Amino acid sequence: MLKIENYIGGKLLEPVSGKYIDNYNPATGEVYSLIPDSDETDVEAAARSAKAAFPVWSKMSAEARHDVLMRVSALIERDLDLLAEAESVDNGKPKTLAKKVDIPRAVSNFKFYATAAMHTATEAHETVGQAINYTLRQPLGVVGCISPWNLPLYLFSWKIAPALAAGCCVVAKPSEITPMTAFLLSKICIEAGMPEGVLNIVHGLGAKAGAAIVQNKDVKAISFTGGTRTGEWIAREAAPKFKKLSLELGGKNPNIIFADCDYEETLATTVLSSFSNQGQICLCGSRIFVERPLYEKFKNDFVERVKKLKVGDPLDETTNIGAVVSKPHMEKILSYIDLAQKEGGTILTGGKQIQVEGRCAGGYFVEPTVIENLAHDCRTNQEEIFGPVVTITPFDAEDEVLSYANSVEYGLSATVWTENLSRAHRMAEKIESGIVWVNTWLLRDLRTPFGGMKNSGVGREGGFEALKFFTEEKNVCIKIDY
């Protein structure tokens, strides 16, 4: 059985305890590899290597750091097919999706921050007649990057690349549910000539290895993406130690459709924004609100399209919906479908586990599910399900739908469909979320600030925001004698 290894001090190592955890293929329900069950001893070793590597890495020229990161990017691109297949097997997502979205985005993340490192500048403030101030932006030192299972290499690299570009050294942990592409990345880093200790990847359970990263005294900052409850725990642990925090957390995003929308575009994109990656994208629109004159038509056409989605083997190129990530997660999704019915919801399509034939007979598959007749404030419409489940609700007025949209504790993203420009601006201003898409979904420019409001997070990633997060500003004030 393949054993995944930690990447510490430039070497692939077994966990000190010698213990491993089973790694499941969610499409078959079978264990196919073993994950190091790392603990604070492994994290301590990783933090020590990162600390030792920091003086050289942080003082290297931006161009030299750029060259290392570009080599990593090129090798990910070279291994696109292999990485996409590994991601699909580990996570259950269709390989076609990993090939089109996850892995190309990891390539871009490294490329984007490799080049950004060469284009940063700091400010100067002239105190006229007295002094000149300039700002130094110094890398923080050793930082921790912790990422979730839904977009494994995509989100892992979204944190690591800016940290390294800023001159920090990293102790990182992927989700133990999907560790494979992070392991393959460590091999790529060795091949790319990444200096020893600059990036360290520790595998294991969140509550053990992840918590040890948060608690390690040499780790100056935590960049975390995951669930709101985990984020809350991390914030409580890190705050008294005055660690810098970037938290990207859960969502319950509204997808607001006005009757004057571009109908075909709205319909096609809403299928994607509801069910891509089995609905396991933090930016999926899980609450669909449709203006009443369009409601019945949209609902019927939408349900027809959803019924045509092919659920099946993630390695089959014709599959639209793969397996959900694990058995416990499938059970959580099914329990929410059950709850929705108890809350009075009507299932328009889906609602059940699917038994796929052949190779995937033991896998975790859930039908794409559409539910109507639920109040906007019931639990199904308030809590994050994070699966192939959406609700659909009519509305009559702008203010009404705004109050539905903003009624949740989350504020990550929203989509508005309308051809009325003024209404689009009005809505975008009033919706409480970190990103508002108008007449599109998931269109990302890596230079823009990315993050959530309310319980969806603290801080922003992307562009120079991430580079700023991984550095500390210092003002140098020089008095001038005229």
Structure tokens at 122: 């700091």
**What is the SS3 assignment for 354?**
strand
Contact segment (CB under 6 A) with ligand NDP among 69-77, 159-167, 230-238, 270-278 equals: 230-238
Q: Which residues pair with 321 in a beta bridge?
A: 311
Sign of the four-CA dihedral 138, 454, 391, 268: negative
**What is the SS3 assignment for 363?**
coil
Contact between 459 and ligand NDP per CB under 6 A: no
How far, in whole angstroms, is CA 426 from its chain's centroid?
Answer: 28
Contact segment (CB under 6 A) with ligand NDP among 109-117, 168-176, 358-366, 368-376 equals: 168-176
Q: Which residues pair with 219 in a beta bridge?
A: 142
* Residue of 168, 169, 261, 282 marked active site: 282
Interface map 313-342 toward ligand NDP (x if CB under 6 A)? ------------------------------
**What is the SS3 assignment for 340?**
helix
Contact segment (CB under 6 A) with ligand NDP among 127-135, 174-182, 311-319, 346-354 equals: 174-182
Q: β-pairing, 285-291 with 389-395?
A: parallel
Position among 15, 94, 226, 363 found at the interface with ligand NDP (CB under 6 A) = 226
Position among 250, 312, 459, 463 found at the interface with ligand NDP (CB under 6 A) = 250
What single-letter amino acid sits at 364?
Answer: Y
What single-letter amino acid sits at 397?
Answer: A
Structure tokens at 261: 């929308």
The yes-or-no answer on residue 14 being catalytic is no
Give the CA distances from residue 364 to residues 273, 313, 350, 453, in Å, rounded to whole numbers and listed in that order: 21, 11, 15, 32
Q: Which C-beta is closer to ligand NDP: that of 79 or that of 384?
A: 384
Binding-residue total with ligand NDP (CB under 6 A): 33
- DSSP states of 312-338: --TTSTT-SB---S-HHHHHHHHHHHH
The yes-or-no answer on residue 248 being catalytic is yes
Contact between 412 and ligand NDP per CB under 6 A: yes
Contact between 162 and ligand NDP per CB under 6 A: no
Q: Which C-beta is closer to ligand NDP: that of 149 or that of 298?
A: 149
Q: Cα–Cα distance between 354 and 357 in angstroms, integer?
A: 9
* Residue of 5, 248, 372, 432 marked active site: 248
Smallest distance, ligand NDP to C-beta of residue 411, A? 10
Interface map 378-407 toward ligand NDP (x if CB under 6 A)? ------x-x---------------------
Of 275-294, binders to ligand NDP (CB under 6 A) are 282
Contact between 463 and ligand NDP per CB under 6 A: no
Region of residue 472 (phi > 0: left; psi between -120 and 50: alpha; otherwise: beta): beta
Which stretches of the chain bind ligand NDP, using CB under 6 A?
A: 146-150, 155, 173, 175-177, 205-207, 210-211, 214, 225-227, 230, 233-234, 248-251, 282, 384, 386, 412, 452, 456-457
Active site residues: 248, 282
